[in-house]
């Protein structure tokens, strides 16, 4: 198995992983105290793109120390709700039902930048706090961003470029065609690809954050592009599906895949050499931070103006940045040297 990951990239990744491990170890046992000014008993709905995706289970659940854990610590009434597919048609009725149930705040991973907006704008007019996390919409008070979109796009291209020696045809297996986050990252991937003139992006296909569809579109790529050298899948559902298709003597070491995924879903493919490296951030911390931001806003303890600051429990102090965003941190790289340190 080749390992061509440049030393400086590995060193950077190591630093990021160390930072991430330190916060992970704090787990759910954090004894964060709610600031006295925060309102208790708020009804806060956490709305991932869809249910049944383990990335969102980690981001949201009490057990992992995600959004619902923070809401519990703050004395709010938190609930995770969503549809079954990564589409606005599936997500929207659930958001509408949350509003009918008396939501004070909504924390949403957007399945589309615009389609949710008539509903979310009406909610904000009624005084409901709308925060996005993971995937943005054009209508919200704050976006809690996992890492810069440029950083996420660039790291995936850099990882694959190193593995294919900066040469050859590549494709992307994305989530849905409308997802804000994947489309933004793909835009930055195209920018980063300009640094690699011998790499050609031949096709973008969509697995809709569904394993069966992701498998099918990957197989389609392999038969349609016999000279394909690499695949980027910037989705935690897509990348394990791509890896499963490539996990055979026919493809291993010949076609490389990277992207974003949770460690537990990739351990097998890292161990057998199908995948060398991939990237992520700490999803539980993302959910935790989003919950604090939503409660701060809903309590009128902060506004969404750039420069506002708040303390997000065990994670410490955050500042509202340009475009009304709050940045969690940097993406980190997982490979065989560290993937087994994580359990989510
Ligand atoms: C999937 C979703 C999510 C994305 C992760 C990496 O779980 O598409 O939005 O952030 O992958």
Q: Which pLDDT tens digit goes with each residue over 108-161? A: 999 999 999 999 999 999 999 999 999 999 999 999 999 999 999 999 999 999
pLDDT at 4: 34
Q: Ligand 1 centroid vs 236 CA: distance in angstroms?
A: 5
pLDDT at 35: 56
286 within domain boundaries: yes
| CA–CA dist 257, 76 (Å, integer) | 41
343 within domain boundaries: no
Q: What is the largest CA-CA distance in the chain?
A: 62
Query: Is 251's pLDDT higher than 50?
Result: yes
Substitution candidate for ligand 1 out of 54, 134, 153, 185 with most atoms within 8 A of CB:
134
Same domain flag for 153 and 142: no
Domain count for the chain = 2
| CA–CA dist 296, 141 (Å, integer) | 12
Contact 107, 67 (CB under 8 A): yes
Same domain flag for 189 and 227: yes
The tokens for 202 are 């031949």
Boundaries of domain holding 288: 5-147+282-331
pLDDT at 23: 41
pLDDT at 11: 38
Same domain flag for 94 and 163: no
Query: Is 101's pLDDT higher than 50?
Result: yes
249 within domain boundaries: yes
- Please report the atom of ligand 1 found closest to the CA of residue 109: 9
Query: Is 49's pLDDT higher than 60?
Result: yes
Provide the whole-model pTM: 0.92
337 within domain boundaries: no
Alpha-carbon distances of 206 from 60, 151, 158, rounded to whole Å? 25, 22, 22
């Amino acid at each position: 198995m080749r390992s061509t990951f440049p030393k400086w990239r590995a060193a950077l990744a190591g630093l990021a992983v160390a930072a991430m491990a330190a916060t992970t170890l704090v787990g759910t046992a954090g004894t964060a105290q709610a600031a006295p000014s925060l309102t208790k008993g708020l009804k806060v709905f956490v709305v991932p793109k869809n249910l049944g995706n383990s990335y969102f289970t980690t981001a949201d659940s009490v057990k992992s120390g995600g959004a619902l854990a923070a809401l519990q610590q703050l004395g709010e009434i938190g609930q995770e709700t969503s549809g079954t597919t990564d589409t606005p048609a599936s997500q929207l009725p659930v958001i509408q039902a949350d509003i009918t149930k008396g939501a004070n705040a909504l924390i949403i991973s957007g399945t589309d930048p615009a389609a949710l907006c008539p509903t979310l704008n009406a909610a904000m007019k009624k005084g409901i706090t709308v925060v996005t996390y993971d995937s943005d919409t054009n209508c919200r008070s704050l976006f809690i961003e996992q890492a810069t979109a440029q950083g996420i796009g660039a790291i995936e291209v850099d990882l694959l470029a190193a593995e294919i020696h900066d040469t050859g045809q590549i494709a992307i297996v994305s989530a849905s065609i409308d997802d804000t986050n994947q489309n933004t990252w793909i835009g930055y991937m195209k920018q980063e690809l300009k640094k690699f003139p011998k790499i050609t992006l031949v096709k973008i296909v969509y697995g809709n954050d569904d394993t069966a569809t992701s498998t099918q579109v990957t197989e389609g790529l392999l038969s349609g592009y016999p000279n394909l050298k690499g695949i980027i899948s910037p989705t935690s559902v897509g990348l394990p599906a791509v890896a499963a298709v490539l996990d055979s003597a026919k493809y291993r070491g010949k076609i490389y895949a990277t992207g974003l995924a949770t460690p537990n879903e990739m351990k097998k493919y890292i161990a057998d050499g199908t995948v060398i490296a991939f990237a992520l951030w700490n999803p539980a911390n993302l959910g935790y931070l989003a919950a604090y931001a939503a409660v701060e806003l809903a309590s009128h303890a902060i506004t969404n103006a750039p420069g506002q600051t708040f303390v997000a429990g065990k994670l410490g102090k955050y500042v509202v940045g340009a475009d009304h965003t709050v940045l969690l941190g940097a993406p980190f790289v997982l490979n065989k040297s560290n993937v087994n340190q994580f359990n989510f």
